Structure 1
Amino acid sequence: FRCTAWRTSGWIGWNDSKSSGGNTRSKNNTNGNSNSSNNTPFPIAVDGAFEVGSHLDHMVVQPKFTWTPRAQPHLQKNAHSPKLFLSESAPPQVELLSIIWVNKACAYQRWDRNRYPYARLDRTCVVSTNNTNHSTIVLEARSSQEQDWLVFSLKLIVAWLASIIISMDEDMLHEFFSPYSA
């Protein structure tokens, strides 16, 4: 699916960013000027996807929700060298079971208009996780119908995975886990 994520302080798709070693994302300020102190977030188009996990002999790789930027505005000055996510570099992601809740922005009680002044609340959803690198993910759909679909789908997928794990239904686990991937 395609939607818009909010870019804050040079990070794509979430508002509580942490730096990590070997990160391939830009650390420039939101307007692309590293000398500026303007921290007004702006949206950036992303492609979202769900990755299946894998269940190996002594290791479990959990299914994940991932997103990849479709545009790289921080590289527009030098359009000849776009960044690519190579096979050894992972796109931004959160494990499905780390998602705490998903809700529409209009239902989010602590919405900060200073932080997201241009967000369209009728199209925006907030994903809260227990992942310290991506504790809050703010996504804006193209329409309110797509927002409804996105909120419903994320809730349904997380609930479906949790119910399969709780019921210990190994046959159903193949929907989320591939025995052939690592």
Structure 2
Amino acid sequence: MSNSDAVKKLKMPRIVVRRTVLRYQRLRLQDEFPKAGHQFTLTPPAVVKAVREIIRQKPEKSTRKMVNDVCIFHRLVETIASEKLYLYYYQMQKTAFLTEKYQLFRKKKAKHLIGGTQAIFKPFLHFLMMKYWLLRLTKMPEGLYGKLPKFRFIDGCPREIMGRSSAKTPACRDRLFFGRNRAVIRADSGKFENYI
């Protein structure tokens, strides 16, 4: 039934019918809204839970398309996402990412990570190089020289973390945003080529 049909059957003003229909579509909980006066935004737990579930299932979906699934206002979805769930748009995240303050923080974090990585791996790399030179000094068959490890970890780290070569790789993102310990654990697993 359209709003005009409801106006004819109920014999009520068109604006009253429209406000009532919108109030019902907004939250499907008519009793929680005041009948007169200033209309305030309510976010009951049932609606917050529904919005959270839709965002969890399809995070790439826009809020305007979520409205059709939840049957509430577009603005209310944004309010719930920002004030209740503390989620923000990609555009807002990108704006924060491009600020000078964030860039300085990123450089400071990268310097800290580089220092920690060098402090941890310097003795290990020294041990490897000593082992390498001992093998070189002893007479080995020519075919084994190609199988010796070639590590360029300390030289390769700063370029990647500072974003000058391939900072979009998952390894650099992990090292940049999840701290030094996680990078050390992954590097200790022996997969050096993924982080160089």
TM-score, normalized by length of structure 2?
0.18
Q: Which structure ranks higher in relative contact order (CA pairs < 8 Å, sequence separation ≥ 6)?
A: 1
Determine which structure has the larger strand proportion and give its number.
1
TM-score (norm 1): 0.19
When Rg is computed on C-alpha atoms for both structures, the one with the higher figure is 2
